[in-house]
Amino acid sequence: MKVRSSMFASFVLICEVVGIAIFLRGFFPLPVKSSLSSKNTMSDLPAEPLSGRSPNSSHLPQTLFKRVVIMLVDGLREDFVFGANGRMYMPYTRHVVERGSSHSFVAKARPPTVTMPRIKALTTGSIPGFIDVVMNLNSPALLEDNLIWQAKTAGKRIVFYGDDTWVRLFPKHFMEYDGTTSFFVSDYTEVDNNVTRHLDSILKRDDWDILILHYLGLDHIGHISGPHSSLIQPKLLEMDDILKKIHGALISKEVDESLPYLLVLCADHGMSETGSHGGSSEPELNTPLVLVSPAFRRKEVGFEQFRVAEKAHGSWMKLYLEGNTSEVLSNMGKKVLKQYLEALAAMSSALSKQLGKYDMYSMIAGMVFVFQLLLVLLLALPEALSGAAVVELPIVSALLSLPFYLLCLLLASVHVLVCTSAESSCYFCSLSWGLVFAVVAFSSAMFCILISMATRRLPLGPKIHGKSPLTSTAADCSLSELDVLLLAGTIGHTLSLAASSFVEEEHQTWYFLLNTLCLAVFQDVCRKYFREKSTSGEEEHILPSKDYQPSAHPKADVYSEKWLALATPLFTLVCCRLLRSLNQTGVQWAHLPDVGHWLNSSEHKIILSLLSAFCLVLIYLLVQRRCSWVSKVALALGLLGVYSYRAAVGNVLFPWQHSGHAVSKGTVEARFVYVFVLGILFTGTKDLLRSQIITADTKLKSRGLWEIYSGLVLLVSLLFRAHNLPVLCCCLLIQTLMAQFIWRKLHYDAAQITIMHYWFGQGFFYFQGNSNNIATIDISVGFVGLESYIEAPAIFLTALSTYAGPLLWVCHLVCYLSSERDWSPVVLCHGCYCLALLRSVPAAAYIVLVTVLRYHLFIWSVFSPKLLYESMHLLLTAGVCLFFNTMEQSHSVSLREQKD
């Protein structure tokens, strides 16, 4: 069976997405549950320490506090309270900490530092599972033993106001509640006012025992403008006034002989230097924990007794270590040592039981599935990159062969054996037999196809078509320096993912590869213009078109083109170096100040405004060249709307606008831009459909593709923060210069151009400020133009903004390969196949690495977030390859109709 290489690559990627999903289902364990099958009751009181006997009392300990108020401020970093600016940010809280009756601590959270897992940790005392990051969007009810359930069971009346995550985790637990959505990050005022408006009435009432307040405004400000924003101090002062108000109300109700109150100020997580969270940096992990109660004033006696006991213990240890020969002291020391060792052994055993239980069956099944597809993709390489771009798959012969049926029986037997002997539940074992048989049959067929292709390829050797690092073999070793660089760089990057430091600082790898690529391209340009002898007949215009007219001064044009071609890789090097300084990313140096922080400071708002205006004008000049006049007008108005949106939310200024104006959400301005984005996309889609259905006009098709690309650029410019607009400008500028003076003029083939696009896309992913840390995902862009949280558009906009760099470069690749009319129609097939191979190799290698390193110290903080990034990138690439396949089919039809 013969299939086009683009269709073959798309099918392989879709199947790999399924395989990765199976692997993820087995790799990410379910949240760790309590070792007890049910919640604790009165009969579950622990044994007496040391003796191991039953507890002395059959009653619960005496109540210490009459009322408890828990004030949880989402995103509150410890330096906001205890740092140098604490007296300025939260003066009353600092006064209580330093001179009041309180205990204060720096609480250290465990990653992932997102709200729902941290609430579970605070209420259950357990370490949440990493899969809770995904479940954070839709929190299920918490069935594990927790403080809220225990308090309700004990008859405590609980009132809650704030983040509705609590309501979803603890349904029917609160006597009274009012939840607010936590995902609409553009709102940092009303979301807190909806909590504070209940305080006056609830503090006067006596019909509650526990009051929980969860404030979200500070976290939302962090997502919007970072921890150094001018909005941070007013919000912290507001939180400080609220704590003062609560404290004063509790003091006024205090009676001498009654039980004291307890006021708790805490946070679920902090925020990084960019204002996000989810990772494991110190600003995200360290949060304040302040306990305020008049009971802490009566602590001198007990505290002194503890100090005396501590000193006595130290003296005893000192005498023992000095070799005291007292028999009593010696026996006591041996007994204490034995108790320590037994306690450590018991804790080690309990900890090992609490480790995440991997579903190894699902992991191995997904891994084998992915590697089968990768090997088939590699074996099809000679045919996929041939002049015909057709892959012959022996599907019929494989399905009719005896090994296929034997493999089906073998795999089915293995499945039965695993499911009947597994101690823990496996995902595969819960599937229906029909679905299991389909998976077994597909895997068996893939194995037979793999063997058939291998036996057909290896004896004869692959046939080479073209000069590409992916198609060279021992029979044709004419690899250029660029071929070696592209091949070695891609393989070297894949191998570097085995080290946690390389994963944390992966941007350094891509920065190095991009700089080396620019130098290699510069070498090729110098070789072409200074070492090769060219005749006048060989010189041609860079971008031939129907509108091209021969110049009256051909020598001057060739001379200028030569120097522009020489300047392009050097200019690209300069752009990459400047963009590296724009956003500090990674882990080791993410805390250092960068140009982005400097531009976002209030003192430099005028400079940021001028830079944003210049970038938007440059974006228009670079994008509008290939659009129709309707799209040009829409693009200009849309970019004006982008600047208006940034001015409305307070990032930039209009010339007539005062710096102290009121900041809005910019909803109207953002929707204004969305209208023009949809208009441009509609115009481009209309031209594409006309070129495919009505008339076979390649020029109309090319214009439609570039209009869709311009609509994507407009949408990205709206989602990018103001200081990141230079990233988009440099992206478009490098694409334009490379297309005009490098790729076609130096006769690079589709495989080489695809790899270059992939490398640049990866580099610009990090130029945006992204990393392999969840904390760098900017979730605030998911609410641009929205007045409430709507899950589907929020996820789409967040994913588009995060992967804007790779998507822009891949979409440019489709447009560029489709618009080159002098090239063979198979270039789209070659590009799609190379893109699929470039994504499949690191994805397949990485799932092996995380399986081997599943008990590594940094498996959840470093390797697991990278696994999610790789999976999402593979899914997006599969979607782009489907678009590749559509364009390739229409391109082939158009060429056949033109020939006819």
Does the pLDDT at position 688 exceed 60? Answer: yes
Give me the pLDDT at residue 535, please: 42
- Decide if pLDDT at 252 tops 90: no
Residue 551 pLDDT more than 80? no
Calculate mean pLDDT across residues 642-663. Answer: 75
Exposure letters 304-324 (e unless 16+ CB within 10 A, then b): eeeeeeeeeeeeeeeebeeee
- Top mean pLDDT of 18-32, 287-301, 466-480, 510-524 is at 510-524
Give the residue among 112, 752, 271, 845 at the shortest CA–CA distance from 502: 845
| pTM of the predicted model as reported, rounded to 2 decimal places | 0.77
Please give the pLDDT value at position 34: 44
Which pLDDT band, with edges at 50, 70 and 90, does 328 fall under?
A: low
Give yes or no for a contact between 186 and 780, defined as CB atoms under 8 angstroms apart.
yes
> What is the pLDDT of the chain when averaged over all its residues?
81
3-state helix, strand, coil in the chain (%, to 5): 65, 5, 30
Q: pLDDT at position 847, please?
A: 94
Residue 227 to residue 179: CA distance in whole angstroms: 25
Question: What pLDDT score was predicted for residue 886?
Answer: 76
* Of residues 311 and 632, more confidently modeled: 632
Q: Label residue 368 by pLDDT band (50, 70, 90).
A: very high
DSSP class per residue in 175-244:
SEEEEE-SS-TT-SSHHHHHHHTTHHHHHH--S-SEEEEEE-HHHHHHHHH-TTSTTHHHHHHHHHHHHH
Average pLDDT for 785-807: 87
Q: Are 448 and 406 in contact (CB under 8 A)?
A: no
Is the per-residue pLDDT at 38 higher than 60?
Answer: no
- On whether the CB atoms of residues 687 and 629 are closer than 8 A, the answer is no
Total Cβ atoms within 10 A of residue 425: 11
What is the number of alpha carbons within 13 Å of residue 764 lying toward its C-beta?
30
- Give, for 277, the enclosing helix (H) or strand (E): none
CA atoms within 13 A on the CB side of 826: 17
Neighbour tally for 107: CB within 10 Å:
17
The confidence score (pLDDT) of residue 35 equals 42
Q: What would the pLDDT profile of 553-588 be if each residue is shown by its tens digit?
A: 555 566 677 888 899 999 999 999 999 999 988 888
